[in-house]
Each structure stands twice: as structure tokens, then as C-alpha cells.
């Protein structure tokens, strides 16, 4: 499991998430397939803004669990989604 920030804001993060072809958006992570979530609006949505800030849960933070797919497929999916939000990727 890894967490990373998308360069930009919440809209940019969702553009990235919606651009994924193979990796699925999910609230519960940890299956055999690669899954991704937007913490601020999903698992931590009820948390007070000050607590989110304290724990580093920003609007552009996403969390990824890597499944058992071919590594090349996972890398391809992440790269193509990142290209949609950052033309310099």
C-alpha cells in the first residue's frame, strides 16, 4: 500500500482516479486486484478538517494497494492516468 499526492487539487485527483482503466476506485482496500481510493472524500470523509490536516489527509492524496496483476499493466495504467493530469509526466 502506498499513498501519494497528485500535483493539483481535489478536482485533479479525481481526474486522475477517473482516468484509471484497470485499477478500480474502492472504499475498502486489500483485495487481490489493484485498488485506489481518495481518502478525504471516502474513508476519512467524516473526520474534521483540522484532524485531516493534522494527519496529512489532503484533497489531492490518493492511496493505492497493488494487486496480483502483471506489474507492467499496473505501471501502464498509472502512467497513462498521470499523463491525463500532468502533461510533463
Asked if pLDDT for residue 89 goes beyond 60, the answer is: no
Supply the pLDDT for residue 27: 85
Global pTM reads 0.89
CA distance 9 to 29: 23
User: Per residue in 20-77, pLDDT tens?
Assistant: 999 999 988 778 999 999 999 998 999 999 999 999 999 999 999 999 999 999 999 9
Q: What is the CATH number of the domain that holds 17?
A: 3.90.1150.10
Which residue range is the domain that position 67 belongs to? 2-85
Supply the pLDDT for residue 62: 96
Asked if pLDDT for residue 88 goes beyond 80, the answer is: no
Supply the pLDDT for residue 32: 93
Number of domains within the chain = 1
Amino acid at each position: 500500500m502506498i499513498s501519494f499526492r497528485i500535483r493539483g487539487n481535489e478536482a485533479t485527483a479525481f481526474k486522475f482516479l477517473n482516468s484509471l482503466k484497470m485499477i478500480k476506485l474502492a472504499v475498502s482496500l486489500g483485495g487481490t486486484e489493484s485498488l485506489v481510493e481518495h481518502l478525504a472524500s471516502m474513508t476519512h470523509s467524516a473526520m474534521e478538517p483540522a484532524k485531516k490536516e493534522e494527519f496529512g489527509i489532503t484533497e489531492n492524496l490518493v492511496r493505492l494497494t497493488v494487486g496480483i496483476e502483471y506489474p507492467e499493466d499496473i505501471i501502464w495504467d498509472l502512467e497513462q492516468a498521470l499523463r491525463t493530469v500532468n502533461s510533463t509526466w
